[in-house]
Chains A and B, each alone.
Chain A
Amino acid sequence: MKGQFFLIGALLIVLMLYIGIAPLLSPSHIGPEIGEDISNMFENIEMEYPRAFNLGLVSSSAEQKLVNFSSFIAEEASERSVTLSSLWLITQNVSDNLNITVGNFLGYNTSVTLNVSGTVNTLYVEDSKINSTVFSSPPSEFQLIVNFNTTESNLLLEKYKANFYSVLEIRKGTDKIVGEIKA
C-alpha cells in the first residue's frame, strides 16, 4: 500500500507544479515581449533622429529631411503594429536672429508655445506639417521653454549651433515609452 502513496504523491506534486507554472506558459507570456520590442525601436530612433538632422544639415534641407524621416519611421512603426508620435523642433542662426522650426507628428493639430529668453511666440502646427518663427537677436546662449498640450520642456541652447530637440512617444498595446532626444 505504501508504494501507491508515492504514485499519488507524484501526481499531486505534478498537479501543484502545473497550477503554479501554467500562467508562465500561457501564450501571452511566452510570446515576443512587447516591452523589449518597442524598447529596441525607441533606442534605435533615439540614435537615428540626430543623424537624420545632421545629414539634413549637410544638404541644407534639415527640415525637409526630418519631415521625410518622421513619416518613414511612422510607416515602419505601423508595419510592426506600433504607434509612434513625435514633436520636434530645430533652431538655426539666421543673420544673428534665431529661426525655430517645429515639426508636428503627434497625429493631430497642435499649438506650440515657444519662450526664448522672455520673448513668447505661439505656433499653430498642423499634423504632419512644419511651421517656423523667428526671434530677433537673442543672446548667444539662450533659454528655450517649449509648451504643447501638457508637456513643458526647458532647454539651455547656443544660438550659433544648430540644435535638435524632440519628444518621442512609442506605444504598443498597453506598453508605452516616452522620452526626449537632444542633439
Chain B
Amino acid sequence: MKGFWRTVESVFAIIMLMSFLLLVGSTYFIATAETDLSFVGYEALKELDTRGELRQYAVTGDGDSINSKISMRGFNHSISICRYGGTCTGQYPDAEDVIVSNYIISGHNSYDPLVVRLYAWRRT
C-alpha cells in the first residue's frame, strides 16, 4: 500500500512540474511570436517592394492587390494606405490583438509620399 501512495505522489509531482513548464512556455512563445510578427509584416512589404510589386499599387491606393500578394500562415491581414496629413484608404480591422507593420514610400514614378500599413491578426 505504501508503494501505491508513493507512486501517486510522484505522479502528482510530475504533473505539477509539467503543467508549470507548459504554462510558462506557451505564454513566452506566443508573446515572442507576436513580437516577431511586426517584423515579418515589414519584411513581407519590403520583399514586395524589392520585386517591384508594391509601389504601383500603393500610389493608386490599391490595397487589395497588395494584400492578395501577402501570405501569413495562421493570420488574417489587411492593408491600409495613408498619405501626408493622415488620410487613409482601407480600415483598421475589427479584431483583437492586431499587429501593425509600416512601410514608408516616397513615390513611384513621381514624388508621392505615403505609408503602407499591414494589419495582421490571429485567425479564429
The chain A residues found within 8 Å of chain B, CB to CB, are 2-4, 6-7, 9-11, 13-14, 17-18, 21, 24-25, 30-33, 36-37, 40-41, 44-45, 48-49, 51-52, 55-56, 58-59, 65, 68-69, 71-73, 75-76, 80
Residues of B within 8 A of A41 (CB): 102, 104
- Interface residues of B, dominant DSSP: helix
Residues of B within 8 A of A6 (CB): 6, 9-10, 12-13
Residues of B within 8 A of A56 (CB): 111
Nearest chain B residue, comparing its CB with the CB of A14: B20
A65 and B112 alpha carbons, distance in the complex (Å): 9
Question: B115 contacts the other chain (Cβ, under 8 Å)?
Answer: yes
Nearest chain B residue, comparing its CB with the CB of A61: B111
Contact with A along B1-38 (1 / 0, CB 8 A): 00001111110111011001100100110011001001
Pair B102/A76 contact, Cβ less than 8 Å: yes
Pair B42/A40 contact, Cβ less than 8 Å: yes
- Interface residues of A, dominant DSSP: helix
How many residues of chain B are within 8 Å of chain A by beta carbon? 35
Question: B57 contacts the other chain (Cβ, under 8 Å)?
Answer: no
Q: Enumerate 20 A-B pairs (CB-CB under 8 Å) in ascending A order.
A: A3-B8, A6-B10, A10-B17, A11-B16, A21-B24, A21-B28, A25-B28, A30-B31, A30-B35, A32-B35, A32-B38, A41-B104, A45-B104, A51-B106, A51-B107, A52-B111, A55-B110, A59-B110, A73-B104, A76-B102
